[in-house]
């Protein structure tokens, strides 16, 4: 048996050139991927805008009526008062209080018109996502104001059940209003063909266990075929005739709710009850303390950035990159932990137990892909405890939002400087 002898330098040379070729191909593939991702992002942005415009289109018809009602009062009373005040023959006969009352109606109705215009502008504008404390009233009232007339016109009985003293949300109000509006428009479309009483209910309450505010929109419309239940949130899924629906409304809702660290679900019994439920993390009523805060994050640069931000905001904190180090940190008293669950899959159960024991609040760092990649029930356990999800790329605003949601920031103080 002979040995095949290859001159060593030629073998190495061949390997090196093969390697160079591979590297070249890899780089080319990477470039292509980057271009494709960019293109996808641009397409997605255009689609979202298209969906918003179609929702706006549906709104505009109703808004004409919404505006005409207050304008009728404004113009009518203003003309009456003008006549009364300038009339040579009769002069002013009513007491000043009566005139003031009429003027009060003018003011009130003009403000109502202005509110409607503001709400419309908020939907139409395309701003970068923000996170600010918003009250439930400020969130839902503009949406309801926009649909009131449409409900009356279509013979829809609409009821809102909203207890007082609901906690505030840390949210992008126009985005969440778009969610409510999309759900409401779908509900209206579902009840319109119903022959009997058409009813839509919006119930808002607090899920104290999950520190969440729960919005349930339910109606007695045509409902969703059980086979379609799993698909209604898919982009482009629509059962409406060609041209009548984009199939994007619910996928937009899903994306916005997810970006707020919330969840959206649907249940349907056709012609009995269809309910869309949105759960969004609530702001704690009482700001708690200024740390210490634990950061568990794999990427050193990202970890250093979070540390720098916490340092600048005057927090005491500890940072770790591994499960072992993190658990050592957990041994100390901490107020909150910002954790990238994917960084410590093995140590996660022990860590969650340690958090519970310390009474520390959990903020998840990372996206939902990271959560889905976790083994077993870990994702559900994380989601059940998390007060907020801070998605990458990490920015100051989202980080603040996470800290506020975790109750380790003074809400007003933190937002004073930005507003």
Ligand X SMILES: Nc1ncnc2c1ncn2[C@@H]1O[C@H](COP(=O)(O)OP(=O)(O)O)[C@@H](O)[C@H]1O
Per CB under 6 A, residues contacting ligand X are 182, 186-187, 190, 221-224, 232, 237-240, 245-251, 274
Residue 187 interacts with, from Mg ion, ligand X, none (CB under 5-8 Å by kind): ligand X
CB of 176 to ligand X, least distance (A): 16
Identify the bridge partners of residue 320 per DSSP, sorted by sequence position: 296
Among 133, 249, 291, 341, binds Mg ion (CB under 5 A): 249
Nearer CB in complex with ligand X: 178/411? 178
Nearer CB in complex with ligand X: 162/273? 273
Residue 223 interacts with, from ligand X, Mg ion, none (CB under 5-8 Å by kind): ligand X
- Look up tokens 């001159």; give the residue: 7
CB of 283 to Mg ion, least distance (A): 29
- Strands of the 293-296 sheet, one edge to the other: 317-320, 293-296, 336-339, 361-365, 386-390
b or e along 246-266 (b: 16 or more beta carbons within 10 Å of the residue's beta carbon)? bbbbbbbbbbbbebbbbbbeb
| Segment contacting Mg ion by CB under 5 A, of 182-190, 208-216, 311-319, 410-418 | 182-190
Nearer CB in complex with Mg ion: 130/238? 238
Nearer CB in complex with ligand X: 223/341? 223
CA 382 to chain centre: 19
b or e along 124-153 (b: 16 or more beta carbons within 10 Å of the residue's beta carbon)? eeeeeeebbbbebeebbbbbbbbbebbbee
Nearer CB in complex with ligand X: 156/232? 232
Among 175, 177, 178, 186, binds Mg ion (CB under 5 A): 186
**Whose CA is closest to 399, among 380, 385, 414?**
414
Q: Answer yes or no whether residue 391 interacts with Mg ion by CB under 5 A.
A: no
Ramachandran category for residue 29: left, alpha or beta (phi over 0 → left; psi -120 to 50 → alpha) = alpha
**Whose CA is closest to 73, among 104, 117, 118?**
104
CA distances from 248 to 54, 55, 111, 253 (A): 10, 10, 33, 9
Residue 58 interacts with, from Mg ion, ligand X, none (CB under 5-8 Å by kind): none
CB of 354 to Mg ion, least distance (A): 44
Are the CB atoms for 121 and 142 separated by under 8 Å? Answer: no
Quote the CA–CA distance of 207 and 387 in Å, as a whole number. 12
Q: Which residue is nearest to Mg ion (CB)?
A: 249
CB of 273 to ligand X, least distance (A): 10
How many residues bind Mg ion (CB under 5 A)? The answer is 2
CB of 41 to ligand X, least distance (A): 21
Q: Prior bond to 393 cis, omega within 30?
A: yes
**SS3 assignment, position 263:** strand
What does DSSP say about strands 169-171 and 212-219: parallel, antiparallel, or unpaired?
A: unpaired
Nearer CB in complex with Mg ion: 237/313? 237
CB of 70 to ligand X, least distance (A): 29
CB of 234 to Mg ion, least distance (A): 13
Nearer CB in complex with Mg ion: 175/186? 186
Residues in touch with Mg ion (CB under 5 A): 186, 249
């Amino acid at each position: 048996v002979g040995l095949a002898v290859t001159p060593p330098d030629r073998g190495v040379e061949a390997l090196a050139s093969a390697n160079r070729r591979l590297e070249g191909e890899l780089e080319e593939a990477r470039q292509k991927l980057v271009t494709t991702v960019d293109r996808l992002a641009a397409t997605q942005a255009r689609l979202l805008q298209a969906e918003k415009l179609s929702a706006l289109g549906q709104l505009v018809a109703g808004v004409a009526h919404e505006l005409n009602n207050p304008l009728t009062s404004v113009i009518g009373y203003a003309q009456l008062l003008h006549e009364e005040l300038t009339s040579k023959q009769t002069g002013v006969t009513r007491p000043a209080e009566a005139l003031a009352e009429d003027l009060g109606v003018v003011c009130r109705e003009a403000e109502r018109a202005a509110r409607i215009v503001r709400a419309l502008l908020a939907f139409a504008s395309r701003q970068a996502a923000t996170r600010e404390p918003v009250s439930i009233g400020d969130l839902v009232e503009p949406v309801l104001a926009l649909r009131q007339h449409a409900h009356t016109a279509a013979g829809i009985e609409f009821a809102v059940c909203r207890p007082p003293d609901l906690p505030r949300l840390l949210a992008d109000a126009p985005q969440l209003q778009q969610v409510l509006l999309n759900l409401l428009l779908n509900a209206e479309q579902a009840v319109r063909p119903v022959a009997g009483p058409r009813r839509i209910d919006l119930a808002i309450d607090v899920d104290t266990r999950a520190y969440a505010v729960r919005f349930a929109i339910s109606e007695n419309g045509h409902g969703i075929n059980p086979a379609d239940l799993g698909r209604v949130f898919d982009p482009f899924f629509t059962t409406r005739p060609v041209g009548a629906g984009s199939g994007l409304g619910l996928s937009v809702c899903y994306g916005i709710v997810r970006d707020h660290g919330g969840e959206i679900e649907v249940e349907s019994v056709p012609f009995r009850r269809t309910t869309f439920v949105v759960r969004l993390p609530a702001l704690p009523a009482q700001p708690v303390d200024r740390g210490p805060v634990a950061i568990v994050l794999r990427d050193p640069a990202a970890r250093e950035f979070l540390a720098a931000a916490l340092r600048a905001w005057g927090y005491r904190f500890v940072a770790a990159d591994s499960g072992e180090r993190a658990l050592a940190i957990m041994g100390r008293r901490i107020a909150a932990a910002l954790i990238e669950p994917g960084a410590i899959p093995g140590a996660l159960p022990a860590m969650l137990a340690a958090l519970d024991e310390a009474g520390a609040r959990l903020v998840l760092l990372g996206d939902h892909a990271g959560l889905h990649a976790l083994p077993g029930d870990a994702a559900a356990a994380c989601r059940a405890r998390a007060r907020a999800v801070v998605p990458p790329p990490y920015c100051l605003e989202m980080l603040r939002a996470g800290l506020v949601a975790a109750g380790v920031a003074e809400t007003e103080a933190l937002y004073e400087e930005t507003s």
